[in-house]
Structure 1
């Protein structure tokens, strides 16, 4: 298989998006801004209630690392995505969507079973709350992943949501070992406050002895380090991780490397849906540093891309929009030079 810049491993999920009221979240005992795992029967019951009383916004291929990989690829990188889908219509839709975005996948990703689905609930403040039935992706293992492209990749990207799966954590361990053998840099996202709260030991296993690049938001950073201020969290995260990116929503992001740290301002947009914003940020940031841009420029591009994701419904932009925004970004950089 051809060499790729980015090798990613993550869950494969079809998103069903709804605009919901705060009262609906309270009635369903859902914690706003987090992801909750469920079974198929419970999710089906929720889906029926959503259709009966809330506003349906559409279906989209999701999965955190997949969203990141789409952004990376659409900006001009080459990428492979290792995942597990069912041998069903949604599984075909999912893999075809990745291939249409220029991302390589493997036939061994397809297994007998049901493709995972996620109810993405967007409250009036644009925050996303997720109710996820993993389906067959809960059993993602090394058997579904073609590790050959990893040997010549520049980066491997791992989503923190894999922390809940015993078999996925084993696959990630194998991938990390292979990456180290072949000089591939490792990036990982903590993904969600719920993963820090309920799957902490799994996250620690995924992180192992640290990564070259760690993504998290401010809440995740504080929770993971058991600290109550960002400076203390940064010091704790620096112990094992080379570079750290802490996103702060509309306020921008903190960028930390071994010798310095700095803040990059956010970009103001009318927020509609935060689903996929952090994923897009990670994909754009990875693309930029892989292309040789500075950390500051990488953060600026990531903020531009992720803010546009927030300004629409759905976890991804169209492939054409990523490219258009990148051209806009390059023109701005030239004007400032």
Structure 2
């Protein structure tokens, strides 16, 4: 019996979630709809220009959101990350622990530095734009990998946001090798179209011959496979992933379970914030398949959970909301 359902690695960022107008993005030359890496000075400029009392702060990062979702649904999870010994780092670790997630750090063992932050800006059309200052998480490396916890997990889950850094790439490769050598399945998310667009060779190197389960959206799937249609992309993805999920936004999702394609219907909602929808989908899906449920049922749970995310601000559900979603679909 494995101790953890999923062992995750990824960036540790304190999410600062706020609403802005399209005019604000234009005024400050912010590229809409993408995740952009910025330095601390640039992020501070934007933070000062925003009315922060209307913002929401949570521990985040793409994989962290998914790992927390697994725990909220009743699964067991571990997150290897890197935060600093500062107020934001203390906040991050406390928030992670309060959500039932084990981790490699404590407030006492965290190194000196500046904890990373992600400014999540949502426009009235529910589009989310992220400006990220990585801080100390930019030095995430093999040192953060807990081999014992990884070996004692059913799945390894890696986020594509680690790909831009050489140390992050090395950590991903090591974690993948440990997993493969010890019968731990490997799941990965491309995270963002920009990661595939600008770091495709590095992404291909991490994926290697294959991964057990790949998460991506429609745009990422076509960028990675150099195709122009989702039908062509999904055929190409079979060559690099034993199983995969392509999220289609308001149109639901498409799952390849290794044999057949499964179409997952969307739950119709009035979307106000798409931030975290893909992270929630991956987390709910991983929870379900590591706890005895079929890929079809996992897709339904993930679709419902994601619909709840886009109908509120912020990338996570409250614990009670997660329990209600699970109760609605899974026995």
TM-score (norm 2): 0.96
Whole-Å separation in 2 of the counterparts to 1:122 and 1:23: 12
Instruction: Report the secondary structure of 1:87's partner residue.
Output: coil
CA 1:271–1:139 in structure 2 vs 1: closer, same or farther (change >3 Å)? Answer: same
Structure 2 residue aligned with 1:335: none
CA distance in 2, matches of 1:5, 1:61: 21
CA–CA separation in structure 2 for the residues paired with 1:217 and 1:211: 16
Task: Choose 121-130 or 22-31, whichever is displaced more.
Answer: 22-31
Aligned to 2:105: 107
**Following the alignment from structure 2 to structure 1, what is the Cα–Cα distance between the partners of residues 26 and 198?**
20
Q: What's 2:78 paired with? A: 80
2:42 is aligned to: 42
- Please report how far the alpha carbon of residue 197 of structure 1 lies from its aligned counterpart in structure 2 after TM superposition: 1.4
SS at match of 1:7: strand
TM-score (norm 1): 0.94
Give the aligned partner of residue 276 of structure 1: 276
Superposition map of 1:77-226 within 5 A: 77-107=75-105, 110-226=110-226
8 Å contact from structure 1 (residues 110, 144) kept in 2 = no
SS in structure 2 opposite 1:114?
Answer: coil
- Structure 1 distance, partners of 2:219, 2:75, is 30
Unaligned runs of 5+ in 1: 332-337
After superposition, what is the alpha-carbon deviation per residue over 1:233-290, rounded to whole angstroms, capped at 9, x for unaligned? 0111111210010001121000113321121110011111111110000000011111
In the alignment, is the contact (CA less than 8 A) between 2:207 and 2:240 conserved in 1? no
Which consecutive residues of structure 2, in runs of 5 or more, have no partner in the other structure? none
Deviation at 1:145, TM superposition (A): 2.7
Partner of 1:318: 318
In structure 1, distance between residues paired with 2:93 and 2:145: 14
Deviation at 1:17, TM superposition (A): 1.4
Question: 1:57, 1:313 within 8 Å by CA — same for their partners in 2?
Answer: no
Which whole-Å deviations, capped at 9, do the CAs of 1:114-137 have from their partners, x for residues lacking one? 000011000111111000000000
Number of matched residues? 328
Indicate the larger mover: 22-31 or 59-68.
22-31
User: Hey, what does 1:6 align to over in structure 2?
Assistant: 6
Q: Distance in 1 between matches of 2:205 and 2:50?
A: 36
| 3-state SS, counterpart of residue 125 of structure 2 | coil
Aligned to 1:260: 260
Deviations 1:46-68 (A, max 9, x none): 111223xx883321211000000
Counterpart-to-counterpart distance in 2, 1:56 and 1:132: 19
CA distances 1:137-159 after superposition (whole Å, capped 9, x unpaired): 00001112322111121000000
Aligned to 2:297: 297
Q: Distance in 1 between matches of 2:17 and 2:252?
A: 26
- The 1:307–1:36 alpha-carbon spacing in structure 2 relative to 1, beyond 3 Å, is same
CA shift, 1:176, in A, is: 0.7
CA contact (8 A) 1:12 1:85 kept: yes
> How far, CA to CA, are the matches of 1:55 and 1:306 in structure 2?
26
User: Does the 8 Å CA contact 1:162/1:168 hold for their aligned counterparts?
Assistant: yes
* Partners of 1:272 and 1:311 within 8 A in 2: yes
